[in-house]
Amino acid sequence: MAVFAAYTPAIGMREDLSNTIYNIAPTETPVVSSIGKTKATATLHEWQTDTLGAAANTALIEGADAAAFTAVPTVRATNRTQIMGKTVNITGTLDAVDKAGRKTETAYQLAKAGQELKRDIEKSILGNVAPVTGSSSAAPKLASIQTWIRTNYSSVSTGTSGAAPAAPAAPPGSAIRTAGSTGTTAAFTEAALKIVVKKVFEAGGNPTMLVVPPYQKQVVSAFAGIAAQRYAAPSNKQTTIIGGADVYLSDFGVMSVVPDRFMTPDYAPNGEQALVLDPTMLSLATLRPFQSNMLAKNGDAEKHQMLTELTLQVNNEAAHGIVADLTAT
């Protein structure tokens, strides 16, 4: 007698498809989430910076006339806004059919587009890209963080890593940072970090974030004094091995050590970089906030465009630093 089994072709067997969609693509954007938010009112966003005169041992003669006052004007800084967008085009049929893991395809794809845009913003502001004014044939681009830092950067002549990087052209935010003439890289060292942190402090900055690519995070965790430790535990509990460092206590304050998946060497002239940042001195200036617009319908499909327009405001570039040209692996 024949047995009708599950592996025998049969009509009416339901497909076993989980109603959950598993997506591990990273969505954390630590820099965008940490910096300030402000409003842009034009495609050329502007702000002002200033500084104090050098400290001096001031002494006045009793009864002497007051010295002449010389005003030092503020410095105007600018950055271009950048339009970022994603397009979603879904047919009526795809939205109507019963789907696993989401109710409507349009809503699901728009949610994905929003997450992707946030990642794009993180990658754009961390790069080494010069501003582009924009034209009928070229998209406008914002000047990313590496093009701004020119006061506190690593230099081989002061014992830091890599080839001596050329600081971005003056004014800050106008041109990319270039690699040293030797074109070599070197390992990230604590000595290199200390030099840059000291420069930032001397300039008046108070950095609280050390933002690094994933590999450089492991390098920081291996700095002397932070090397892997083993905590003693009772015999009835597991021993914890500490092999990572999330906080770095420098001579000038505490910094969170933040790995950033989107801080890749794609835009770098040479190797990887480590950024010493004060997030209170950075802002995301938004001209057009996140918005989803339905485009003209010319068939059996709905087309949506999700976009935003924004730029990076570096309140004062001397509040930040960079250790450049780091060996990546």
Highest-scoring range by mean pLDDT, 113-122, 217-226, 244-253: 113-122
User: For residue 187, what pLDDT is reported?
Assistant: 87
Neighbour tally for 48: CB within 10 Å: 11
Tell whether the model's pLDDT for residue 160 goes beyond 50: no
Q: Give me the mean pLDDT over the 251-267 stretch.
A: 87
Q: How confident is the model at residue 235 (pLDDT cuts 50, 70, 90)?
A: low
User: For residue 1, what pLDDT is reported?
Assistant: 53
Q: How confident is the model at residue 156 (pLDDT cuts 50, 70, 90)?
A: very low
Tell me the backbone φ, ψ of residue 302, rounded to 5 degrees: -110, 130
Rounded to 10 degrees, the C-alpha dihedral 90/96/98/103 comes to 70
Highest-scoring range by mean pLDDT, 171-180, 237-246, 290-299: 290-299
Q: Give me the mean pLDDT over the 216-227 stretch.
A: 83
Name the more confident of 115 and 177: 115
* Domain assignments of the chain as residue spans, ordered by start: 30-48+75-326
- Interior/surface letters 151-189, b for 16+ CB within 10 angstroms, e for the rest: bbbbbbeeebbbbbbbbbeeebbbbbbbbbeeeebbebb
Q: What rounded mean pLDDT belongs to the chain?
A: 83
**pLDDT digits 0-9 by tens, 280-289:** 999 999 999 9
Highest-scoring range by mean pLDDT, 99-108, 147-156, 251-260: 251-260
d(CA 128, CA 126): 7
Q: How confident is the model at residue 243 (pLDDT cuts 50, 70, 90)?
A: low
User: For residue 226, what pLDDT is reported?
Assistant: 63
**pLDDT digits 0-9 by tens, 74-110:** 999 999 999 999 999 988 888 888 877 888 888 888 8
- Find the range with the poorest average confidence among 14-28, 182-196, 313-327: 14-28
Q: Give me the mean pLDDT over the 256-273 stretch.
A: 82
Tell whether the model's pLDDT for residue 145 goes beyond 80: yes
